[in-house]
Amino acid sequence: MPTSWAGARVLIYSHDSFGLGHLRRCRAIAHSLVAAYKDLSVLILSGSPIIGSFDFRTRVDFVRVPGVIKLRNGDYTSLSLHIDITQTIALRSSIVRHTAEIFDPDVFIVDKEPLGLRGEVRETLELLHARGATLVLGLRDVMDDPSQLAPEWERKNAVSALKEFYDEIWVYGLPQICEPLAGIELPHSVRRKITYTGYLGRETDGAAPTTPQHNLIDEPYLLVTPGGGGDGVELVDWVLSAYEADPTMPYNALIVLGPFMQNEDQADFQARAERLPKVSAITFEARIEELIRKASGVVAMGGYNTFCEILSFDKPSIIVPRVRPRLEQFIRASRAAELGLVTMLPIDGPRDPRVMATALRHLPQQPRPSEVVIPGLLDGLENVNRLVARRIEGSARPRMGLARATP
């Protein structure tokens, strides 16, 4: 590594209003960067209430900002503090800005929201832009249906932020599957900032899962995961109904309910699972990659991270995507099914237990994703490493600790 890397720093912001997707994507990037570059440090800013449940590699740490949660009407409210959302955003914004001021990153990667939640990152972007840091917007492969995304971004002045602040836009996917900003009117000066990295491949660290209950299930098994679980009730119910309707199911099933599923739903599903000899249910597993690696097939809703893991571990899968409040999962699953990477079952119609039972019986014999050749499909982390290296090596900013700006 060039000597100019000494003390190099990357700051990653993730608003994390709900679920696991943003945090797990940012964590994967951080771990890949420190594995590739021994003198690099990465700090993650996150609003996830369960970030402390995950392991982090040496030279990766996090600062947690007060959590928020999105209501059904689209508004936000404080997750735990008894203060209004305006005060919560002001508090979060201050923490983000002061962290950036002291950490003084060479590269600042903002996940998904160009100005952060309710504009809370604007002051930090202004600060780091003035200091000459590289500002990057990182986007998943699918944002939403263009008819929904365009007015949302117009309301948030997102395009203006891309023109004013950002040096690069990284899409963690491939245009053959989806172009997340295809429905947005972007000037050429912004479109030329876009780089498609490929999907963020995953691997295991060889450590056993942290949840001892996973040993209750014998291999071979099917893994059922609704991600964070907050909107996964229909999927889990459908799978349990299939096992209840067909006692002769040939495969065991391990269901990871997700930490954000309502407690009453978790209790109901665990009680139903206990009555089924071939089904086990656990609440949460931080090292779910190992469970996916050992599974004979995966049943999921098709969020970004789970899709990356299905591809990385080459698992036959059934995707049952949500269609509300965003079409993101449906768009991703539909395109992946067209390409032959996954099988998709719609969840917005009648959920016949026999249909799910048949799909589960056939799941391990489905074609694996690797049977479809898509160049660069899983090159995302390698390309992100290169993009960060290019920016840091080309920077004239001082990186030795004593030469850095101090508050």
Name residues whose C-beta falls within 8 Å of residue 190's C-beta, 6 or more positions apart in sequence.
159, 162, 163, 169
Give the architecture-level CATH label for domain 3-201+378-402: 3-Layer(aba) Sandwich (3.40)
Does residue 173 register a pLDDT over 50?
Answer: yes
Whether the model clears a pTM of 0.75, i.e. scores above it, the answer is yes
pLDDT in the model for residue 145? 83
Does residue 84 register a pLDDT over 50?
Answer: yes
Helix (H, G, I), strand (E, B) or coil at 22: helix
Does residue 271 register a pLDDT over 80?
Answer: yes
Q: Say if residues 251 and 220 touch (Cβ distance below 8 Å).
A: yes
At 119-154, the pLDDT tens digits run: 999 999 999 999 999 999 999 999 888 888 889 899
At 329-366, the pLDDT tens digits run: 999 999 999 999 999 998 877 899 999 999 999 999 99
How large is the average pLDDT for residues 49-77?
82
Q: Say if residues 196 and 173 touch (Cβ distance below 8 Å).
A: yes
What whole-number percentage of the chain has pLDDT above 90? 71
Name residues whose C-beta falls within 8 Å of residue 176's C-beta, 6 or more positions apart in sequence.
339, 374
My answer on whether omega of the bond before 325 falls inside 30° of 0, hence cis, is yes
Which of 45-49, 75-79, 230-234, 360-364 reaches the highest mean pLDDT?
A: 360-364
Which burial class, exposed, middle or buried, applies to 71 when counting CB atoms under 10 A from its CB (0-12, 13-18, 19+)?
exposed
Q: Which two tokens stand for residue 191?
A: 């479109």
Q: What is the radius of gyration, based on Cα positions, of the chain? A: 21
pLDDT in the model for residue 1? 43
How large is the average pLDDT for residues 261-286?
95
Confidence of residue 206 (pLDDT cuts 50, 70, 90): low
Does residue 94 register a pLDDT over 70?
Answer: yes
What single string gives the DSSP state of each residue in 191-210? HTTEEE---------SPPPS
Which burial class, exposed, middle or buried, applies to 374 when counting CB atoms under 10 A from its CB (0-12, 13-18, 19+)?
middle
Q: Say if residues 48 and 18 touch (Cβ distance below 8 Å).
A: no
pLDDT in the model for residue 324? 78
Q: What letter represents residue 117's amino acid?
A: L
pLDDT in the model for residue 2? 44
Helix (H, G, I), strand (E, B) or coil at 274: helix
> Among 165-169, 282-286, 354-358, which stretch is predicted with the lowest mean pLDDT?
282-286
Name residues whose C-beta falls within 8 Å of residue 248's C-beta, 6 or more positions apart in sequence.
none
pLDDT in the model for residue 403? 43
Does residue 41 register a pLDDT over 90?
Answer: yes
CA dihedral 303, 310, 138, 375 (to 10 degrees): -140
Does residue 72 register a pLDDT over 50?
Answer: yes
pLDDT in the model for residue 401? 41
Same fold, 3-201+378-402 and 212-371: yes
At 245-268, the pLDDT tens digits run: 999 999 999 999 998 899 999 999
DSSP 67: P
Does residue 384 register a pLDDT over 50?
Answer: yes
Measure CA of the first residue to CA of the last residue in the chain; give whole Å: 29
d(C-alpha 264, C-alpha 364), whole Å:
32
Q: What are phi and psi of 221, to 5 degrees?
A: -140, 160
d(C-alpha 405, C-alpha 37), whole Å:
23
Name residues whose C-beta falls within 8 Å of residue 197's C-beta, 6 or more positions apart in sequence.
170, 171, 172, 173, 379, 380, 383, 384, 387
Does residue 57 register a pLDDT over 60?
Answer: yes
pLDDT in the model for residue 325? 74
Cα separations in angstroms, 53 against 20, 29, 56, 71? 11, 18, 10, 24
At 292-312, the pLDDT tens digits run: 999 999 999 989 999 999 999
pLDDT in the model for residue 402? 37
pLDDT in the model for residue 228? 86
Find where tokens 């508090």 sit: 91
DSSP 219: S
As beta bridge partners, residue 396 has none
Q: Say if residues 157 and 115 touch (Cβ distance below 8 Å).
A: yes
Does residue 15 register a pLDDT over 80?
Answer: yes
pLDDT in the model for residue 147? 82
Name residues whose C-beta falls within 8 Å of residue 365's C-beta, 6 or more positions apart in sequence.
316
Confidence of residue 21 (pLDDT cuts 50, 70, 90): confident
For residues 140 and 49, which has the higher predicted lDDT (pLDDT)?
Answer: 140
Does residue 279 register a pLDDT over 90?
Answer: yes
Instruction: Match domain 212-371 to its CATH number in 3.20.20.70, 2.170.120.20, 3.40.50.300, 3.40.50.2000.
Output: 3.40.50.2000
Taken as a whole, the chain contains a residue count of: 407
Does residue 397 register a pLDDT over 50?
Answer: yes
Domain ranges of the chain: 3-201+378-402, 212-371
**Three-point CA angle 375, 379, 380, nearest 5°:** 130
d(C-alpha 331, C-alpha 333), whole Å:
6
Pairing of strands 221-225, 297-300: parallel
How large is the average pLDDT for residues 70-87?
74
Average pLDDT over the chain, rounded to an integer? 90
